[in-house]
Amino acid sequence: MHTETLEAINVKLPLQQSEELYTVKARGGRWTAVERQEAVVVSSEHLPIQGLSFDELKTTALLDLEGKVMLPGFVDAHMHLDKAYSLPWVRNRSGTLLEAIENYRAASPAFTKEMIRDRIVKAALSSASFGSAVLRSHLDVPVHMGREMAMRTIEAALEAREKVSEIVDIQYFPMFFYDPAYERELTEFASETLRMGIDGIGGAPHLSPNPETNVGWAFRLAQLFDKPIDLHTDESDNPDMKTIDIYCDYVKAGGYGGRATAGHLCSLSAMEHNEAERLIAKMADAGIAAVTLPAVNLYLQGRGDRGNVRRGVTRVRELEEAGVTIAAASDNIQDPFHPFGRGDLLQIGLMTAYAAHLAKEEDIVTVLRLLTTNPAKLAGLTQYGIAPGNPASFVVLDACSEEELFQELPSSRWVYNKSKWTFASMLSRFGLEPSVSGSLV
């Protein structure tokens, strides 16, 4: 049985912007105290976390973290769990976004609901084992290829969410591919999914035959159902691709600041600096959040370039400095859009540090915020972070400083969420509850 109370001494909390050590206490899955220590606490009653078996960990109320880093559970704000691990079935010879979309579409009819559900469960559990507590996943729902096929993914997603609900939370944003020729069917389908418990409206207007009408349609639906909106935006090397401009207008006019997110924003990095600055200021003013997906965009973008290859990663530092809420996220895992990845946000943080030139000491804390507090804010989590009253959702990593996190990418992690320890990776990568371990594929 898990203990009702938990106390950990000698904890490093990098997000507190302090070099000190802390004592943290929780009861019934909520933080009750976060206290700064004067010095290292020596206590024979507190057991070092390193070396405890998973069963011992669950029954130990007093822990000594010996200076290890604790972070609030990561929030992976942009994933495609339904496509994860589909690479053996769907390849991508050119490495371009368009071929990935085409090949995935061609393979989709053969994916059963069970296959999709199991892929989502596996990707969600892998992410949780690395320390993520909340995931936001887009879903592929090509209604124009048949309603049944699109609904298969929605049903698989809802079943998967139920299966992992004691371990990790998932938000779903189906990508509604708008085409005026299918507007009636699409609106009907989207409305039904929202009634079924889908969390918000997704899409990729820059790929639509009519981007402006697409953004308008998505907004009307979001407002009608009072749901947040999260659009793939300008995932292109073309500097003239600027659907973000229209998106900002709608967010501002509809008072949707704080409930609207733009993912990718690759063209923002390709365009001339003054124009990018104008759009970034417009985003800050409208209150649109941004998500950078460095792994996938380093893989997919710049494929037409020779020599000085564009990297496709948006202007992270400029967005951050302008006051835009910006997160870094996994995007695709082992599928035609990205052959690598494992749902480990620390790995994504390291890539962000390289790709966005965020590597000074103070930048490291910025990178950590891109994985924690910023995505928590855009995902609408109101009680987030290691502070009294909030849910005790956290990951302990085998590193003694924020820099060491990215230097060592520690594989030893201890994850606590939903009033219990869910993983202890040093001891058993998948320290799963029995009900869930049976569903691993």
User: Distance between CA 13 and CA 23 in Å, rounded?
Assistant: 10
What is the C-alpha separation between 194 and 173, in angstroms, rounded? 10
Cα dihedral: 438, 330, 140, 195 (round 10): 80
Nearer to Zn ion, 169 or 331 (CB): 331
Closer CB to Zn ion, residue 234 or residue 331? 331
Token pair belonging to 136: 């936001």
- Least distance (Å) from Zn ion to the CB of residue 138? 5
Token pair, residue 304, equals 């037409």
* Alpha-carbon span 405 to 392, nearest angstrom: 21
Six-digit token string for 101: 């979309």
Give least dist CB 49 to Zn ion, A: 35
To the nearest whole angstrom, how small is the minimum distance from the Cβ of residue 296 to Zn ion? 7
Cβ atoms of 77 and 375 within 8 Å: the answer is: yes
Cβ 232 to Zn ion, closest distance in Å? 5
Backbone torsion region of residue 439, taken as left when φ is above 0, otherwise alpha when ψ lies between -120 and 50, otherwise beta: alpha
Name the 3-class secondary structure at 70: strand
Q: Which residues from 323-382 bind Zn ion, rule CB under 5 A?
A: 331
The tokens describing 391, both together, are 């849910």
- Residue nearer to Zn ion on the CB measure, 10 or 292: 292
What's the Cα-to-Cα distance from 338 to each of 134, 148, 158, 240, rounded to whole Å? 21, 27, 24, 25
Distance CA 332, CA 103 (A): 15
In terms of CB distance, is 16 or 347 closer to Zn ion?
347
Q: Which is nearer to Zn ion, 76 or 331 (CB)?
A: 331
Count CB-CB contacts under 10 A for residue 306: 6
Q: Are 194 and 225 in contact (CB under 8 A)?
A: yes
Q: Which is nearer to Zn ion, 331 or 402 (CB)?
A: 331
In angstroms, what is the minimal distance from the CB of 26 to Zn ion?
34
Rounded least distance, CB 424 to Zn ion, Å: 31
74-79 vs 288-292, strand pairing mode: unpaired
CB of 140 or CB of 320, closer to Zn ion: 140
- Cβ proximity to Zn ion: between 337 and 406 the closer is 337
**Residue 125 contacts residue 160 (beta carbons within 8 Å):** no
CA distances from 228 to 216, 256, 301 (A): 14, 8, 28
- Nearest residue relative to Zn ion (C-beta): 331
Please give the structure tokens belonging to residue 356.
């966005």
Minimum CB distance to Zn ion, residue 271 (Å): 21
Q: Which is nearer to Zn ion, 261 or 374 (CB)?
A: 261
Question: Rounded to the nearest whole angstrom, what is the least distance from the CB of residue 137 to Zn ion in the complex?
Answer: 9
Residue 338 tokens read as 């990205």
How many residues sit close enough to Zn ion to count as binding (CB under 5 A)? 1
The minimum distance between CB 80 and Zn ion, in angstroms, equals 6
Whether 392 contacts 416, CB under 8 Å: yes
- Return residues touching Zn ion (CB under 5 A): 331
